[in-house]
Chain A
């Protein structure tokens, strides 16, 4: 059977039999579905972009649908101001980068321990690692809050760093598992050869294991970054007023806006908050993530293949 006939019969069967034409129909239907659903997926994003460039007149004018009547940047100017954008962006970068780096490195160490050594209780501990994924953060947040308070690390970045270092950061279980899968595939012969050459376990870890796990490092780091960036629940509890992130700023966007502009609007005819300004703020909050995604997109979408979750 040649490839073409094989393809055709497959498509035909997919539609419960029929002539050659139905294979084409099946394929077209798949494209239509995918494009349709793809549009629905992107719709909020497209709407956000379109609306954020609209002036108040455009927002009220029902004739203006997707394309704003003129290039209007005032929404962004105001949103930048309300979010206190650039200082907060630097803070968000700090709050996400540091825990992500630490979490990734420690997940590698822990994953290596689970993958390369057979010690008593290993399987039970691995099960416990998985179990930590199921515990909602709400259960541990109060005792952790009290504990951090006693340690004097509440309202500081250390409240993120300590759990990250000890393998209890955000979704740490997933990263430990990714490294566990990666290091399990390391050939035993390589380790034995290194040992014969007199390499100790730290040397093996740093010189052999880490270089072969580059993709696991990238995937873990990127996902950590995104998850720490998007975390607002824990951030608002642990950091209080002392540290803030862009998503936290977005959360109180309306209130901040009103505090900044409410008095001015009645006196000097300034604008009240409208969806253009709000969506400009939302877009500014996710913009850094979008940039990261489009640069490192390959690593994100191939992550599941590398995690080994789908079996070998």
Chain B
């Protein structure tokens, strides 16, 4: 046995398995198994008894309930889709703008970076909730803006509601961009200066260079940032859905089975959004070429 183990690790690379082993165990026990187990539970009626968990097969009842009869969840899912689909591009574009500004020869660049990154440190769910509660998350004095008042008069429409959502939460949306700004800056500073030199000699304007050189060069970073933003936005406790999942989890009449179904619907929704957003970027890149 000992010899078998020795000969197994004799090939140089195989020692690597030993280093990666904790992750493999952890992945199996704390991620892979839970993922499948929650999928399994979502088809069951789960009850916690003194003997342990008691499961009764329920077929698609949990999903039916989530998507058909649970009015709150469907509504929350709908607004999650809209808000995320609007917020994520907004956050990424904003981050790119800031990064481009900071990539110019600017004094106090370090100070600005410090300010823009600060929210990453302090914006936990309860803190954001308190700030939203106190209405300090919209741009100061935005309520006096003509467009804002106009939109308020027509509250209830999809467009106006989205507009008001963005305006009311502008600072929170900005606050989600800290990491993305840094990723963009790091990439901009590593991009090849010679390309810009060549483009300049060919007579390209700044505007042209942005669209033809900077943006295509940033494309991989844009995809990374879209993924990062979508994930972070989806699991932030600003999202009413994750609170809903928690509530259902500890409710006697619905329990773990129903909560599992909700979390899986949510998982699929996030995956669909990720696919749509990254697919869209890929589409625009392909069209450019």
Contact = CB atoms under 8 A, between A and B. Distances in A.
Interface of A: 7, 9-10, 13-17, 27, 30-31, 33-34, 37-38, 40-45, 47-48, 51, 106, 109-110, 112-114, 116-120, 122, 125, 128-129, 132-147, 162-163, 165-168, 176, 201, 205, 226, 229-233, 236-237, 247-248, 250-251, 253, 275, 278-279, 281-282, 285-286, 289-290, 292-293, 297, 300-301, 303-305, 309-312
B126 interface: yes
B125 A143 contact: no
Interface stretch (B81-89, B146-154, B155-163, B255-263): B255-263
A188 to B, nearest CB: 12
Contacts of B112: 34, 38
A65 to B, nearest CB: 11
B256 A142 contact: yes
Interface of B is mostly: helix
B134 A275 contact: yes
B215 interface: no
A135 B102 CA distance: 33
B267 A117 contact: no
Nearest to B115: A38
23 contacts: A9-B200, A30-B106, A40-B171, A40-B174, A44-B136, A48-B131, A113-B20, A116-B19, A117-B16, A137-B235, A138-B242, A139-B267, A142-B259, A147-B34, A162-B30, A166-B26, A168-B31, A201-B19, A236-B246, A251-B129, A290-B121, A304-B182, A304-B185
From B20, B24, B25, B220, name the one whose CB has the most chain A CB atoms within 10 angstroms: B20
Given A37-B174, A143-B37, A168 B30 contact: yes
Q: 7 nearest interchain CB pairs?
A: A166-B26, A117-B16, A113-B19, A230-B124, A143-B34, A310-B186, A140-B34
Contact-residue bracket for chain B: 35 or more
A125 B21 CA distance: 11
B130 A279 contact: yes
A114 B170 CA distance: 40
Given A113-B17, A146-B256, 12 more contacts: A33-B101, A34-B106, A41-B118, A41-B175, A141-B263, A143-B37, A146-B37, A147-B33, A168-B27, A168-B31, A226-B120, A310-B187
